[in-house]
Structure 1
Amino acid sequence: MKYVNRISSEAHKLVMRTIKPGAYEYNAEAMFMNYCYISGGCRNVSYTCICGSGHNSSILHYGHAAAPNNKIINDGDMCLFDMGASYCGYSSDITVSFPANGKFTEKQKIIYNTVLKARNAVFNSLRPGVSWVQMHLMANEVMLNELRDNGLLRGNVQDMLCDNIASIFQPHGLGHFLGCDVHDVGGYMADTPERPTAPGLRCLRTARKLEAGMVITVEPGCYFIDALLDKALNDDVMKKYLVPDKIEEFRGFGGVRIEDDVLITEKGMENLTNVPRT
């Protein structure tokens, strides 16, 4: 798993250095897959590559047969590339987000740094005995604070957490186990905590406490998905937290996700992923 993470990280860095506006999204996919095979002997990827640019970066599992990474990448687009090689049956799962032209706009800075702060907060807390549910809630709290401080939200963040405002912007769980499958087994078993039923938590792929030897992804994200924004703006509870004019400025932005593959150790964690984050 360390090896396939290293190869996948190097492949991502090649794509980040090379891709430019005017290329097709599938050019990035092909470049990634070629590097992993020709330089690392990784014949397969762990899942269908997700190479979203612009609005497509807000589509969580973009890249499937009906949306096959075939948009032209435009100047000013945010790219969200979620790709991981497989080696000897073991998976990797890495996401990078960056501006196609190499220069962050002010809006892109806000959202990228929001997600990065959430990721760093989780990293600083990962160790055996920590509840994955609490890690997810921590990431949500950090992102809500940042979105409020940057004028997209208003009100008390604890109230926002209770009213599930985070799910408007991050409609998925913080991460999943990783191993012989990209979404590996072990999330919910007979002797582990049951799946939470609360809104915003029922999408979590595990509610377990972390143990040394586990490999899990940490992948906070912030997206501007029209259907979720429209629903929230028409919901009497949710809309009181949203600043409509500011939200409209981010329509079509797409999304940012930062995903690392992490080994839980006896004393903390080891990040198996090595790609630029700042």
Structure 2
Amino acid sequence: MNQHAYFAHLDRLQQATESLLADADFDGLLIGSGSSSRRFQDDYGHTYKANPNFVHWLPFLTQHPGCWLLVQPGKKPLLYFVMADDFWHVTPELPGDWWAEAFDVVAIKDTAPVTQDNLAVIVEHFPAFARDSWTHNPQALIQQLHRVRRVKSEWEHECLREANILAVQGHLRAEQGFRAGESEFQIHQGYLTAIEHNEKQLPYDNIVALNEHAAVLHYQWQDRRLPDKHRTLLIDAGAGHLGYAADITRTYAAEDGVFSDLLAAMEQAHLGTLSDMRAGISYVDLHIGMHRKIAAILQQAGIVRASVDTQLDEGVTRVFFPHGLGHLLGIQVHDVGSWQHDKLATEPKPPAAHPFLRYADMLEEGSVLTVEPGLYFIPSLLHGLRQSPVAELIDWALIESLLPFGGIRIEDNVLIKANGIENFTRDAFAAAQ
């Protein structure tokens, strides 16, 4: 573990935070690790997820609700570490590992004895011990902190690499399960075992979709029943390392044919887009460029008898590729700094024709994104296309034959560099072979 990189990461955060606090006229920043809310009419809580703003500083404390971090200019960060007198749960030990040297650590039972005035407080629920001079979740400051998170430090790059290495082990096991004829549930359980995660450690719910289920973009079940035949596996599944997420998708075909040819063509389109990526390139242009590639694939396969330009003009490709090319990745799977997190309208929005594109800015050196083109046969979207003026340009018999295969998605996690990318996902697959 690169201790130097972690301490450099903290120095970067301290300097950036001090500057932003001065600009916003705050004397300090108080960040809560968060809490787990109770289920409705129950005494059990929902699965706890730490405040990502807290994890940005303290990735070693992702399972510690009730803690607080106080950041002040010119001072060592102060960690209020909760050690409740609780016989229902294990009381954690006061941090003594190497990373704790960067903080002044104070043990608390519940309430943090914070007496400073004029603090910005970032946490879901304003604490009961808050002072009148504190400001809860000031949006202008939060938006600037989001921009700091958008460009990752060397420490964060290392965490994301490790998350990808771990997730790839699960993906390799998933393909084996598919080839062996396992159910979605069995493939999912094999994945968890391979990455040594339980359900609550996953950065998001795994999508394990056989056959036509691959046409459901966020398919939410793991069917225990075996299908009549294994045609397709689309698995969108990640792993976590010190609070950072991998988000990888692979699609497999059971046998050769039209669908496997489409899968091979999408692989080449994906690689072509990756080769175009570098700092300063418009992500919107890459997204629209992928639509052009998909239009060419549909034309060459005989699915759509129309030119690339006609398909884009008529919105045909949006039926087959309805989501965005990808998103920022980090502590959160859909990480901050892109338009959907911008409550002050400071981030560029995607084109009106592509509302689900989650990042619409230029690529920045040091940022990490997913690249996940897809080609799906979604009955509800195809129904609309069948009613459109371009319906006569579609080979509906061919589409009917492809419906049982569901669809294709291929997703890599990439670090943007000045003259290209580092592909965490492909590097991890290559090392695992």
Report the TM-score when normalising by structure 2: 0.58
Q: Corresponding residue for 1:193? A: 348
Is 1:96 the equivalent of 2:250? yes
The residue matched to 1:195 in structure 2 has which SS? coil
1:163 deviates by: 1.5
Distance in 1 (alpha carbons) for counterparts of 2:397 and 2:288: 27
Match of 1:50 among 188, 202, 207: 207
Q: 1:85, 1:209 → 2: CA distance?
A: 27
| Correspondence for 1:78 | 232
Corresponding position of 1:16:
175
Shift of 1:11: 1.8
The 8 Å contact of residues 321 and 374 in structure 2, kept in 1 or not, is answered as: yes
Structure 1 residue 152 displacement after superposition: 0.5
**1:14 CA drift (Å):** 2.1
Matches of 1:182 and 1:110, distance apart in 2: 30
In the alignment, which residue of structure 1 is the partner of 2:219?
62
Check whether the contact 1:154–1:242 (CA below 8 A) recurs between aligned residues: yes
Structure 2 residue 87 is the aligned partner of structure 1 residue 87: no
* Cα shift at 1:195: 3.2
Unaligned runs of 5+ in 1: none
Residues 158-201 of structure 1 show CA distances to partners (whole Å, capped at 9, x for unaligned) of 1211221111111100101100001111112444322322x2x1
Match of 2:257 in 1: 106
Q: Is the 8 A contact 2:259 2:402 kept in 1?
A: no
TM-score by length of 1: 0.89
- The answer on whether the counterparts of 1:26 and 1:70 sit within 8 Å (CA) in structure 2 is yes
Q: Distance in 2 between matches of 1:53 and 1:252?
A: 10
The change in CA–CA distance for 1:142 and 1:244 in structure 2 (over 3 A counts) is: same
Query: 1:105: how far off?
Result: 2.3
Looking at CA atoms only, which structure, 1 or 2, has the larger radius of gyration?
A: 2
- Aligned partners of 2:316 and 2:330: how far apart in 1? 32
Determine if contact 1:4/1:92 at 8 Å carries over to the other structure: yes
Which of 367, 370, 376 is the aligned partner of 1:217? 370
Q: Which has the higher contact order (CA 8 A, sep 6+)?
A: 1
1:227 alignment partner AA: S
Q: Alpha-carbon deviation of 1:143?
A: 1.2
Secondary structure, aligned partner of 1:84: strand
Residues 149 and 206 (structure 1), Cα distance of their counterparts in 2 relative to 1, 3 Å cut: same
Task: Go from structure 1 to structure 2 and tell me whether the alpha carbon gap of 1:27 and 1:19 turns closer, same or farther (over 3 Å shift).
Answer: same
* 8 A contact 2:209–2:222 mirrored in 1: no
Equivalent in the alignment of 2:311: 160
Closer, same or farther: CA 266–74 of 1 in aligned 2, 3 Å = farther
Which whole-Å deviations, capped at 9, do the CAs of 1:51-86 have from their partners, x for residues lacking one? 0001001111112xxx34434245341000110011
Name the CA distance, whole Å, in 1 between partners of 2:162 and 2:334. Answer: 18
| Residue type of the alignment partner of 2:237 | M
Partner of 2:269: 118
* C-alpha separation in 2, matches of 1:123 and 1:22: 32
1:241 to 393, 406, 410: 393
Q: In the alignment, is the contact (CA less than 8 A) between 1:262 and 1:269 conserved in 2?
A: yes
Distance in 2 between residues matched to 1:77 and 1:217, nearest whole Å = 26
Contact 1:170–1:222 (8 Å) recurs in 2: yes
Structure 1 counterpart SS, 2:413: strand
Q: Which runs of 5+ in 2 are unaligned?
A: 1-159
SS in 1 for 2:405: coil
Partner of 2:83: none
Cα drift, residue 42 of structure 1: 10
Greater Cα offset, 202-211 or 7-16: 7-16
Divergent runs of 4+, >4 A: none
SS in 2 for 1:12: helix
Separation of aligned partners in 1, 2:224 and 2:336: 32
Return the alpha-carbon distance in structure 1 between the equivalents of residues 309 and 178 of structure 2: 41
**Alpha-carbon spacing, 1:170–1:71, altered in 2? closer, same or farther (3 Å):** farther
1:182 aligns with 2:333: yes
Deviations along 1:30-53, one digit per CA (max 9) or x if unpaired, are 111112127xx9971111010000
Are 2:305 and 1:148 equivalent residues in the alignment?
no
- Note if contact 2:170-2:194 (Cα within 8 Å) is conserved in structure 1: yes
- Count matched residues: 265
Superposition RMSD in Å: 1.9
